[in-house]
Chain A
Amino acid sequence: MFEMTIFLYLFFFCQHFTMLLLLLYICATKLFGFIFKCIGLKRKTAEEYDKGSIIKNPNVPHNPSLYKKPFVESFEETPLMVAVLTYMGYGILTIFGYLRDFLRQWNIEKRHIARERDEQKDFVPLYQDFENFYNRNLYIRIRDNWNRPVCSVPGPKMDLIERSTPNYNWTFEYTGRVLKDVLNLGSYNYLGFAENKGPCADAAIEATQAYGVGVGSTRCEMGNLDIHEELEQLVARFLGVESSMAFGMGFATNSMNIPALTGKGCLILSDELNHASLVLGARLSSSTIRVFKHNNMQSLEKLLRDAIVHGQPRTHRPWKKILIVVEGIYSMEGSIVRLPEIIALKKHYKAYLYLDEAHSIGALGPNGKGVVDYFGLDPKDVDIMMGTFTKSFGAAGGYIGGKKELIDYLRCHSHSAVYATSMSPPVAQQIITSMKIIMGEDGTTLGADRLRQLHENTTYFRRKLHDMGLIIYGNEDSPVIPMMLYMPAKIGAFGRQMLKKNIGIVGVGFPATPIIESRARFCVSAAHTREMLNTALDAINEVGDLLQLKYSRRERPLPSLGWMSDESLLKD
């Protein structure tokens, strides 16, 4: 007892002594600082060091003069309790994963997965890394939420084939039933052009009857049809650039053209959350790649200044060119790029800009011309405008637009143009028809109606989800809406519960997002009517209460006065 008392006294004394020392140190530094300031010996502040930089304060995210309308993005922080419980859930799953791997290794349990053959047991192991562990023990347990076979046109409603699994998702069997009219909140169908009737489908049928479906050659050899030339001139007119080129596959557009544009001795500054195609293209080009924090202009500016001041790593020669690679809308976050600031930076530091508008072309802007239109900027400021036709035009393929010299260079030097088959004629015709509808050149107001409907749907859906108390990421104007789920079991549970209510959603987990930030991603379409959205919102509300998904800690408005909240949405 006596020893314990002495120990306790010593412990408290040491604790208080260190705290006193800390206090003394802080007072001394402040005192000296005050004395030095009075004398006139000042240290330079951070602003004075960065005297030449043009992005001043990171907390005020933009120069108000550069943005013509308010730029509202929100990424609410993960609540601490939720993060702790998510880690705990992953810990339990990992322990059981090790247990199951042990049982499989010792043949106590039947093995369904790929494994090395017995003759290869002394080779370097193929399936021991974390990705394969995660695949075997976490992904496969809830795998029935992905790869669901769709047996109709993936428009606002679709038909799914029902599957059952006798052995916990290792193999699937068809039950023979088809789930009809499942509400589709996962397809990238922003303007509703994924349809099998209407002017686009009729034009595509005529093109098939005229040209066939296969082209049978690459663009450089015999695969250059007049429909491709028409498409490229139309795309150039749509974007407001001098010239453009269309490719058969959107992923290949990025990964095969960035190597043609940059090489050794060039610098690529790419955003943290860029798509895999951009990362692959940057790596294939063998340029130096530096990554800046997501949508953070201070980080980008610091990298630009360091690159110009210090040059290439060992020789300190100036970089041959500096290419900034960003996306229009980031589909996992729902955030829109800060384009006015990037263009100001690029002009100031004389770098080039590569803008990937896969999700934003057709979906943003008053005329549907993408993120450049949305901010009201000049398309000639962006050196390389890339995009895909998959999302808003209901087709497949990608394009690159820019100056005539650039596109003529790409026609000869791009891998995709030289080696890959060119775009199929009915697909090209679908793009031509849908683009004319969006521009209003077919004589109807269908394009303008769809753009307005998409904007209304986006605002309505986001407002209602926000008011329910769910955590939604991203910009208020982006039609991609990620909703946070956090816990791994809730990804599976949410998908299954929504399918029971006849709604199909896409859940996203670890390799595509950080490990605790798993989410469900909704893609709003112009083809969704208000009733469909209301059905979806009621279902999300019920499932959100059932699964306790309403993590948001913001203040919520009162649920009454429905007529007043609807009116405030129609102010435009």
Chain B
Amino acid sequence: MGLSECWKQLSWIYYQYLLVTALYMLEPWERTVFNSLLVSVGAMAVYTCYVFMPQHIMAILHYFEVVQ
């Protein structure tokens, strides 16, 4: 029962996302194009953070002379 509630809530949130970005009015293949673009850009941002975050944090700490 908790899972179906969760699924309904997620489905409602997806509906809000469709309404706000006006994807509600587009055909299914256009929605696929937009969603895949969004997911790929998001994935690239997450990957960049993952690869470069240690270097950034070391640089900041070095600037504030917390670590040599």
Contact = CB atoms under 8 A, between A and B. Distances in A.
A60 B18 CA distance: 43
A186 interface: no
B24 A492 contact: yes
B34 A92 contact: yes
A487 B20 contact: yes
Nearest to A494: B19
A205 interface: no
A93 B24 CA distance: 10
A489 B27 contact: no
A489 B30 CA distance: 15
Contacts of A490: 19
Interface in A487-525: 487-490, 492-493
Given A92-B34, A96-B30, A548-B16, A142 B25 contact: yes
B23 A92 contact: yes
B14 to A, nearest CB: 13
Contacts of B25: 93, 138, 141-142, 488-489, 492
Contacts of A85: 20
A142 B23 CA distance: 12
B17 to A, nearest CB: 10
A88 interface: yes
A493 B22 CA distance: 10
Nearest to A4: B63
Nearest to B25: A141
Contact of B24 (A96, A99, A138, A489): A489
Contacts of A141: 25-26
Interface string B5-31: 000000010011011111111110010
A440 interface: no
Interface residues of B, number: 16
A216 interface: no
A92 B21 contact: yes
A33 interface: no
Interface in B1-58: 12, 15-16, 18-27, 30, 34
A89 B27 contact: no
Contact of A487 (B15, B22, B27, B34): B22
A547 B19 contact: yes
B16 A489 contact: no
Given A96-B26, A168-B27, A89 B16 contact: no
Name B's interface SS. Answer: helix
A488 B22 contact: yes
Contacts of B16: 548
A493 B16 CA distance: 11
Contact of B23 (A168, A489, A546, A547): A489
Contacts of A99: 30
A90 B27 contact: no
Nearest to B24: A489
Interface in A202-256: none
A489 B15 CA distance: 11
A492 to B, nearest CB: 6
A85 B16 CA distance: 12
Contacts of A89: 20-22
Nearest to A5: B63
B29 to A, nearest CB: 11
Contacts of B30: 96, 99
A373 B28 CA distance: 54
Contacts of A487: 19-20, 22
B4 to A, nearest CB: 18
A1 B59 CA distance: 11
B19 A88 contact: no
A168 B20 CA distance: 20
A168 B23 CA distance: 14
A490 B19 CA distance: 6
Contacts of A546: 12, 15
A93 B22 contact: yes
Nearest to B62: A1
A51 B8 CA distance: 65
Interface string A462-505: 00000000000000000000000001111011000000000000
Nearest to A95: B34
B8 to A, nearest CB: 12
A493 to B, nearest CB: 6
B18 A489 contact: yes
Contacts of B12: 546
A493 B24 contact: yes
Nearest to B19: A489
Contacts of B26: 93, 96, 141
Interface of A: 1, 85, 88-90, 92-93, 96, 99, 138, 141-142, 168, 487-490, 492-493, 546-548
Given A1-B63, A138-B25, A168-B27, 11 more contacts: A89-B21, A89-B22, A93-B22, A93-B25, A96-B34, A141-B26, A487-B19, A487-B20, A490-B19, A493-B24, A547-B19
9 contacts: A1-B63, A89-B21, A90-B22, A93-B22, A138-B25, A487-B20, A489-B21, A489-B25, A492-B25
Interface of B: 12, 15-16, 18-27, 30, 34, 63
